[in-house]
């Protein structure tokens, strides 16, 4: 249960990151999700990624809404502040927090109900606003805490545990993000840690809104035959179009790839992404083609995964659009915020 802390006993030989912290230092409270829940695998990947990135836990802010997915933020980085808000409204809390302090790393964890139904508006506008954050949508096609209703991401024809067939068209968060101007759009599978960990790292280092839709099966309500978001169905129908390798700053690039297969992307912090195209016709820098590719594969019943789209240009984030100062707004000295009594007198001349 989430209020039970894990024992702090550590093996002395655990590997340490640049800060001298072990992976255990990035863990959170014990999960209260069902055994085998995809979300717990996502938690593990997030923990791994932030440990590998050597982020100071307090430099991270964890935000979430309501639902099974939103509990995730309690299960990693107990040294980071967390904010579990109201249903579907995490993006606005994240935008406000980011407005106040642009120097922290923000991880939002949401789900398909939280992001695509009640919070679809906030999800859309956070993309438009290009809030600098990593946004993970743990997508299982179902409402778990209320026991198995379809969510907005449920595919047409998928069956609920009770046998009901979904008839409404699904909302695909990646297609939505593509159409809304998203600058970093990825999809992964909770069971594919090798793919997910570098994506999380890349998303955290991306300047702007990085969205990762993670298909994360619900073992209790959506893992049966007839469901298109079960472990089995996902494993059989997921199609990695692009594999991402994350190379931290100053690290030598050793892996060798065939000519034309790898797209190197320089990140603003000095790190590099190397996008390995598994489908040679795929272009992850082309919004229109990415959209078309996703649509085509969806029609064939395939979930395209990997870094689906990475904007090739420089897209201003919220702070650049607002032209806010480099000093985080919560740290600007009070004296610099108003012109004092003398200034007031001169302002008021207009009103006299």
Partner 1 sequence: MAQSPATQDRVNDFVIKLGNVNGTGSASANTMLMKSIFRMGVPVMGKNYFPSNIQGLPTWYEIRVTRDAYVARSGRVDLMIAMNAETYQKDVREVSPGGFLIYDSTWPRSAVLARDDITILGAPLAKMCNENFVGVRNRILMKNVVYLGLLAALLEIDVEVIRQLLNESYAKKPALVEANMKAVQLGYDYAKQHLPCPLPLRIQRMDKTRGHVMIDGNTAAGLGAVYAGATVGPWYPITPSTSLMDAFKSFCSKLRVDPATGKGRYAVIQAEDELAAIGMVLGANWNGARAFTATSGPGISLMSEFIGLAYYAEVPAVIVDVQRVGPSTGMPTRTQQCDILLCAYASHGDTKHVLLFPSNPEECFYMMVQAFDLAERLQTPVFVLSDLDIGMNDWMCPELKWDDAYRPDRGKVLTQEEIEALPKFHRYLDKDDDGIPARTLPGVSPKGAYFTRGSGHNQYGGYTEDSAEYQVVMERLLRKFKQAKTLVPPPVIEATGTSDIGLVAVGSSRGAVNEARDILAKRGIPIDYMRIKAFPFTKEVEAFMASHQKIFVVEQNRDAQLRSLLTLETDVPKSKLHSILHYSGLPMTSKEIVEAVIAELGDARRASLAAAK
- Residues at the site binding partner 1, with contacts judged by CB under 8 A: 1-3, 56-59, 61, 63, 73-74, 78-86, 89, 91-101, 103-104, 121-122, 124-125, 129, 318-319, 322-327, 329-330, 332, 334, 336-341, 343-345, 347-348, 350-352
User: CA 112 to CA 85: how far, in whole Å?
Assistant: 16
Q: Minimal CA–CA distance to 72: which of 114, 104, 22? A: 114
* Residue closer to partner 1, measured from CB, 81 or 239: 81
Q: How far is the CB of 313 from partner 1 (least distance, A)?
A: 21
Nearer to partner 1, 58 or 232 (CB): 58
How far is Cα of residue 150 from the mean position of the Cα atoms in its chain?
A: 22
Write down the least CB distance from residue 101 to partner 1, Å.
5
Minimum Å gap between C-beta 90 and partner 1 is 8
Annotate 232-280 with DSSP letters as a single string.
HHHHHHEEEEEEEEEE-TT--------TTTEEEEE-TTS-EEEEEESST
Judged by CB, which is closer to partner 1: 97, or 294?
Answer: 97
- Comparing CB distances to partner 1, the nearer of 105 and 303 is 105
Cα–Cα distance measured from residue 83 to residue 141, given in angstroms and rounded to the nearest whole number: 24
Closer to partner 1 at the Cβ: 142 or 318?
318
If the CB atoms of residues 109 and 308 are measured against partner 1, the closer one turns out to be 109
Q: Closest approach of Cβ 82 to partner 1, in Å?
A: 4
Token reading at 57: 């836990």
Q: What ranges in 53-212 are assigned the alpha helix state H? A: 68-71, 90-100, 112-116, 120-129, 173-179, 193-205
Tell me which residue of 281, 64, 315, 86 sits closest to 185, measured CA to CA: 315
- Contact yes or no for 88/114 (Cβ under 8 A): yes
Q: Output 253 or 344, the one with its CB closest to partner 1.
A: 344
Distance in angstroms between the alpha carbons of the first and the last residue of the chain: 63
253/327 with CB nearer partner 1: 327
- In the structure encoding, which two tokens stand for residue 25, read together? 């230092």
Structure tokens, 162: 């009770």
Min dist. Cβ of residue 153 to partner 1 (A)? 21
**What is the enclosing helix (H) or strand (E) of 134?**
strand 133-139
CB 57, min distance to partner 1, A: 5
Q: How far is the CB of 338 from partner 1 (least distance, A)?
A: 5
Please report how close the Cβ of residue 88 comes to partner 1 at its closest, in angstroms.
9
Phi/psi at 139 (5° precision): -110, 115
**How many whole angstroms separate alpha carbon 185 and alpha carbon 110?**
15
């Amino acid at each position: 249960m989430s209020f039970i802390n894990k024992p702090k006993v550590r093996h002395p030989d655990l590997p340490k990151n640049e800060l001298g912290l072990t992976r255990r230092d990035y863990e959170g409270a014990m999960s209260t999700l069902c055994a085998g829940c995809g979300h717990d695998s996502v938690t593990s990947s997030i923990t791994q990624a932030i440990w590998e990135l050597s982020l100071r836990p307090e430099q991270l802010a964890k935000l979430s809404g309501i639902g099974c997915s939103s509990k995730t933020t309690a299960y990693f980085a107990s040294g980071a502040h967390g904010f579990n808000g109201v249903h579907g409204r995490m993006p606005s809390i994240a935008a406000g927090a980011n407005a106040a302090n642009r120097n922290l790393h923000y991880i939002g964890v949401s789900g398909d109900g939280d992001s695509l139904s009640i919070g679809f508006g906030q999800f859309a506008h956070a993309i438009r606003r290009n809030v600098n954050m990593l946004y993970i949508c743990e997508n299982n096609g179902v409402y778990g805490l209320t026991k198995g209703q379809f969510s907005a991401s449920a595919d047409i024809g998928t069956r609920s545990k009770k046998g009901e067939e979904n008839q409404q068209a699904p909302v695909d968060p990646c297609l939505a993000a593509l159409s809304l101007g998203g600058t970093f759009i990825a999809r992964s599978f909770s069971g594919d840690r090798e793919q997910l960990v570098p994506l999380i790292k890349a998303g955290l280092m991306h300047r702007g809104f990085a969205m990762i839709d993670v298909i994360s099966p619900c073992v209790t309500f959506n893992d049966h035959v007839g469901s298109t978001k079960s472990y089995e169905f996902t494993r059989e129908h997921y199609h990695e179009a692009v594999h991402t390798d994350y190379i931290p700053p100053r690290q030598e690039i050793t892996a060798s790839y065939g000519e034309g297969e790898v797209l190197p992307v320089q990140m603003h912090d000095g790190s590099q992404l190397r996008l390995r195209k598994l489908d040679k016709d795929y272009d992850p820098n082309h919004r229109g083609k990415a959209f078309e590719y996703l649509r085509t594969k969806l029609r064939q019943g395939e979930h395209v995964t990997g870094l689906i789209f990475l904007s090739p240009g420089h897209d201003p984030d919220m702070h650049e659009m607002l032209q806010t100062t480099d000093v985080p707004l919560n740290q600007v000295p009070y004296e610099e915020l108003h012109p004092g009594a003398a200034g007031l007198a001169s302002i008021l001349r207009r009103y006299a």
